[in-house]
Amino acid sequence: METLLMCTPEGFAVDYEINPWMKNQAGRVSSALAAAQWRALFDQLSALAEVRLMTGDRAWPDLVFTANAGLPLPLDRKFILSNFRHPQRQGEKAIDRAWFEAAGWTCVELPAAAVFEGAGDALFDARGRLWLGGGPRSTDATPGCLADHVDAPIHRLTLVDPAFYHLDTCFCPLPGGAALYLPTAFDAASRQLLEREFGDALIALTPEEGRLFCANAVCADRTVLMNRATPRLQALLAALGFALRETPWSEFMKAGGSAKCLTLSLDGWVYEALPTAMPARREDGDKTGRGTRRTAQTAPRRAVHD
């Protein structure tokens, strides 16, 4: 069973503006409604996966978005800590470090020049490729620094719409190989890269679906949890064999987050392709990687622990 990390919502609020969703929302979050919406996600996920918890902290209201804590590498039991761009979130790092160290993970620090916001900007797909979003948050230095630790092909994607500031707000790889994406959130080269690499398995979201945060979905045990879907997307997901649960996360959307941001996968399907598919992927990459902004992975394969 997959393990996911969530953070209890008692410290959650909008106290500042670091993305367009937060504009004029300071003080407008209903704590009671946020607690109920968080609980709905926790209850649904608990039926599909094992959910671990970290405790919220009123001093760091965005701590609830555990996707941004860092990038877990469960095969090595290593955790790459985030280097948050905005001072308003930088204090989360010590809390994240303490939780992961207590849970037996080895925490890795990236150089300070590498701004990195964890699984918000770093998503594995079903073939074990790591997709990195950059622009609003992660910097140009980040992919190279991650490549020192991650034994997987790395592809960079440039985000151009400030409303879709993290990769997980506009791109959602799914188990089985499909991926949802919001075309307008990417520059032309990134769109072409996604189209080339995913082919027919790439599902373009409409602007309305983008605004509904359909890409910020979390998938556990073939069930997709999403804020709201359109009838078109409901049908597409059903055709792919996914069950869909729609639940409003309006209070968290005031901070620019939804289901996916509120979770961090500590193992599970996102990592399944890593240990076995590596040689085949390398060959594929060599043949099809022309002109991609791929960072070569030369590190030796690491042994599978756990």
Footprint of ligand ARG on residues 96-135 (CB under 6 A)? Answer: 120
Interface with ligand ARG includes 209 (CB under 6 A)?
no
**Strand duo 223-226 + 218-220: pairing:** antiparallel
Paired with 51 in beta bridges are 4
Nearest to 63 by CA among 30, 112, 98: 98
Of the two residues 19 and 265, which places its CB atom closer to ligand ARG in the complex?
19
Between CA 20 and CA 278 the distance in angstroms is 39
Interface with ligand ARG includes 263 (CB under 6 A)?
no
Interface with ligand ARG includes 92 (CB under 6 A)?
no
Of the two residues 12 and 151, which places its CB atom closer to ligand ARG in the complex?
12
Note whether 12 and 255 are within 8 A (CB).
yes
CB atoms within 10 A of CB 289: 17
Interface with ligand ARG includes 65 (CB under 6 A)?
yes
CB atoms within 10 A of CB 67: 28
Out of 38, 41, 62, 81, name the contact with ligand ARG by CB under 6 A: 62
Structure tokens at 46: 């608990």
Sign of the CA dihedral with 45 first, then 47, 52, and 55 last: positive
- The catalytic position among 7, 166, 170, 219 is 166
Place of tokens 């622009």: 135
Interface with ligand ARG includes 257 (CB under 6 A)?
yes
Structure tokens at 298: 């030369």
Out of 125, 168, 209, 251, name the contact with ligand ARG by CB under 6 A: 168
Q: Is 261 a catalytic residue?
A: yes
Q: Which among 94-102, 162-170, 189-197, 222-230 is the span making contact with ligand ARG, rule CB under 6 A? A: 162-170
Shortest Cβ distance from residue 10 to ligand ARG (Å)?
A: 17
Out of 78, 155, 156, 166, name the contact with ligand ARG by CB under 6 A: 166
Shortest Cβ distance from residue 306 to ligand ARG (Å)?
A: 25
Nearest to 142 by CA among 87, 97, 85: 85
Interface with ligand ARG includes 68 (CB under 6 A)?
yes
Paired with 131 in beta bridges are 123, 155
**Strand duo 78-81 + 70-73: pairing:** antiparallel
Using CB under 6 A, count the residues that bind ligand ARG.
16
CA 299 to chain centre: 24
The contacts of residue 97 (CB under 8 Å, 6+ apart) are 81, 107
19 to 58: interface string for ligand ARG, x by CB under 6 A: x--x------------------------------------
Footprint of ligand ARG on residues 268-297 (CB under 6 A)? Answer: none
Shortest Cβ distance from residue 240 to ligand ARG (Å)?
A: 23
Of the two residues 19 and 138, which places its CB atom closer to ligand ARG in the complex?
19
Between CA 235 and CA 239 the distance in angstroms is 6
CA distances to 133, 201, 292 from 237, in Å: 24, 12, 29
- The catalytic position among 7, 172, 214, 261 is 261
Q: Is 166 a catalytic residue?
A: yes
Interface with ligand ARG includes 145 (CB under 6 A)?
no
Where does this chain bind ligand ARG (CB under 6 A)? 18-19, 22, 62, 65, 67-68, 89, 120, 166, 168-169, 255-257, 261
Active site residues: 166, 261
